[in-house]
Amino acid sequence: MTHPTTENQDKDQDQNQDQNQVHNQVNNQVKNHAPLNKSDDNASRLPLLLGSIRIIMVNTTLPANIGSAARAMLTMGLKDLVVVNPKHPIDEKSIAHAAGAQNVLANCRIVESLEEAISDCQLVFAASSRQRHIPRPVINPTEAAKIISARPITQTKVAVLFGREDRGLTNQELSMADYHIQIDANPEYPVLNVASAIQVISSFFYSHFLQQVSADYSIKTQNDYLEQNQVTLTQRQIWDMPAISQHQKSQLQTRIIELMNRLQLVESTEADKLRDLPSRLSRLLSRLQLDEKEYEIVSSIIAKIKRKL
């Protein structure tokens, strides 16, 4: 089951403070982007936005849920579905629950690992209410849609992770995401199955994208745009080089850890630091949002230091 709200009430105060920081950083993302150019081809922008999104289901138990997810996706214009190591393959129940979305099922990719599923992605969200020891920024679906639409469309592949029906995503899987999405829901029963969670989040995405590209969505001035689109999140600008993929980020993280070990910056006896190091580096690299040229520079520095040791 997917649980859209947190159940850890003893952490509510800390979480509220964290969320206030997230929701108060917004304009960094939008300030660096000019209002929509009226000469943009809106008819092609919507498919580009929707086509940039990949839905990833992790270790599903019921084939019917894969079919229901495909149907939910196509209803909201999404077609890129990847399933990581399902317990049972796509079958007749999947096809029946997909209804008119059988093409989404036909093009669905089955992969062995989450790393493979997100390897070519530049931006990763995870749908989960679980709070980590080393947390990520927690946002709602509308804020996620704004982050996506502010990115360079042709340079950004977006992954949205959904966990197992009974227990969601593991801590390790959650740590691979740049942001965590939580759905506002009835606190007395904040429970959605995985296909329903996909439907809800996809609906927010479609609604925001459609509003953004519609002909009557006019923005008169830059100030008007900022007032209408306040999402306090640091966001990558349209730079001269594309952002690095998750695979490149993982490689850089591994190289940094190897270098730290060579330099004896973390002793093998410091179990807590060693356990948290990969997750902290992952979060750091997510915040930096390196482009490919910056990735090459940092990699060259690490390689040079290694040769000097």
For 47-58, what is each residue's pLDDT tens digit? 999 999 999 999
Mean pLDDT of 67-88: 97
Whether the per-residue pLDDT at 228 is higher than 70: the answer is: no
The CATH number of residue 119's host domain is 3.40.1280.10
For 5-17, what is each residue's pLDDT tens digit? 434 444 444 545 5
Q: Are both 76 and 133 inside the same structural domain?
A: yes
Give a yes or no: residue 170 inside a domain.
yes
Q: Measured between alpha carbons, how far is 101 from 68 in angstroms, rounded to an integer?
A: 9
Q: How far is CA 291 from CA 113, 160, 164, 244, in A?
A: 25, 21, 32, 5
List all residues 6 or more positions away from 52 whose beta carbon is below 8 Å from its beta carbon: 148, 153, 156, 157, 158
Which residue, 228, 254, 286, sits at the end of a domain?
228
Give a yes or no: residue 299 inside a domain.
yes
Q: Report how many domains make up the chain.
A: 2
Whether the per-residue pLDDT at 23 is higher than 60: the answer is: no
Neighbours of 9 (CB within 10 A): 9
For 99-111, what is each residue's pLDDT tens digit? 999 999 999 999 9
Q: Which of 167, 210, 273 is nearest to 49 (CA)?
A: 210
- pLDDT score for 131: 63
For 119-149, what is each residue's pLDDT tens digit? 999 999 999 876 666 678 899 999 999 999 9
Query: Which one-letter DSSP state was computed for residue 266?
Result: S
Q: Are both 223 and 257 inside the same structural domain?
A: no
Residue-range definition of the domain harbouring residue 284: 246-308
Task: State the average pLDDT for the chain.
Answer: 81
